[in-house]
Amino acid sequence: MSNEDFARNPKTPPEALAMLSTSPSAEVRRLVALNPSTPVPALRFLAADEDRAVREAVATNPMTPYDAFAAKEAPPAPVAEPMTDNLGSADFITDEPEEVPVQDAAPPEPAVVPAQFVPAGDLPKPRSLWQRFLALFGLGTR
């Protein structure tokens, strides 16, 4: 597939469209501007494009915000976040180790507190639907 095909496809991930919005090809940028899946930061960037056809394509995109053409100068190029799979892992591996901040605080309390064990014989016997109906009107006995 070519860049034009990716830029044209509405199923192309927004991260890829953001990267394609900085393409040197005006045709690719125009197709990105027409794509309804293009993220708003990329549309704002393309609204200040030097090519008139690209700006016109941005104006026809239903996702373009009303104030996209109000900027006096071009906004910075959109930064594409790394694409992740459904498990949240990035598609790329870096050689540099990630710096993890050290926390001196105590570990947080568990969000789920285990319930106390109650023997089955100590549980109240569930009332039938009929008993609950009578109790609703104060007619039944417990």
Residue 92 has pLDDT above 50, yes or no: no
Distance CA 105, CA 109 (A): 12
Largest Cα–Cα separation, the chain: 82
Residue 131 has pLDDT above 50, yes or no: yes
Output 24 or 104, whichever has higher pLDDT.
Answer: 24
Output 28 or 138, whichever has higher pLDDT.
Answer: 28
pLDDT tens digits, residue range 36-75? 999 999 999 999 999 999 999 999 999 998 888 876 666 6
Place of tokens 């498990």: 87
Residue 55: predicted pLDDT: 93
Which tokens belong to 13? 């991930």
CA dihedral (19, 25, 31, 34) positive or negative: positive
Residue 68: predicted pLDDT: 83
Q: What is the per-residue burial (b if ≥16 Cβ within 10 Å, else e) of 65-89?
A: eeebeeeeeeeeebebeeeeeeeee
Average pLDDT over residues 75-83: 63
**Cβ–Cβ < 8 Å for 2, 8:** no
CA 107 to chain CA centroid, Å, is 29
